[in-house]
Homo-oligomer: A and B are copies of this chain.
Amino acid sequence: MRKRSQTELAVLGALSLAPMSGYRVRAEILSTLGHFWAESFGQIYPTLARLEAAGLVARDGNALYVLTEPGRLRLVELLREAPESSPPRNGVLLRLFFGRELGIDGCLELFDQMEREVQEKLRALAEIRAELDPGDPDERFALITVSAGEHSGRATLAWIAESRAALTVPPMRPKV
């Protein structure tokens, strides 16, 4: 699957929620998918133009983009394709791995900064969760993505606590 298709997928998906302008598509992706997905203006408009040329979306009376029937079929097709995982690139782990060069203090600063970011993220997720209705079958899917972020965030906090201890307590050779 080309990466291109994943942007198409995000745009078609956004339009499956409601007809909206390109500007709104971007706002929707930012606010609703923001904690696990990102698209920039420079991608969204050309993608919309392509999708329109292919008849997968159309403009309604108010010039809003709407998903056409072929568009919905294409969306389902893309949803069934294997999710593409971008090659991992974790800047924090890269730095920690070379912690010998960076120094313990530098590592601890990384932990502090990361801890603040994760806590901030968990706060944001709690807000999103508060607005979702667990009883609504359609919103279960959004809840699952929120839950993913929460699990991941809590795991990161636990890892930070554990790793901070491993760095500050002097290492012991296991007794022979």
Show the binding face of A for B, using Cβ within 8 Å.
6, 9-10, 13, 16, 32-33, 35-38, 72, 75-76, 79-80, 82-102, 106-107, 110, 113, 134-138, 140-145, 147-148, 151-152, 154-156, 158-159, 162-163, 166-167, 171-174
Residues of chain B within 8 A of A142, CB atoms compared: 97
* A93-B99 Cα distance, complex, nearest whole Å: 32
The prevalent SS among residues of A at the interface is helix
Question: Are B37 and A93 in contact, with the CB atoms below 8 A?
Answer: yes
Q: Tell me whether A13 and B98 are in contact (CB under 8 A).
A: yes
7 new A-B contacts at CB < 8 Å, known A33-B97, A83-B110, A148-B159:
A6-B94, A36-B88, A72-B101, A76-B102, A79-B106, A99-B141, A151-B156
Q: Name the contact of A144 in the complex, choosing from B76, B96, B147, B151 (C-beta under 8 A).
A: B96
Which of the residues B87, B134, B158, B167 comes within 8 Å of A38, measured between beta carbons? B87
* Identical copies of this chain, number: 2
Beta-carbon nearest neighbor of A93 in chain B? B36
Q: Is the CB of A138 within 8 A of B94?
A: no
Contact at B143–A151, with CB atoms within 8 Å? no
Decide: A97 and B141 in contact? CB cutoff 8 A.
yes
Known: A80-B106, A151-B158, A171-B134. A75 touches B101 (CB 8 A): yes
Query: Are A145 and B100 neighbours in the complex by a CB distance under 8 Å?
Result: no
A100-B138, A101-B72 known; A94 vs B10 contact (CB < 8 Å): yes
A82 to chain B, nearest CB (A): 8
> Given the complex, which residues of B lie within 8 Å of A87, measured CB to CB?
38
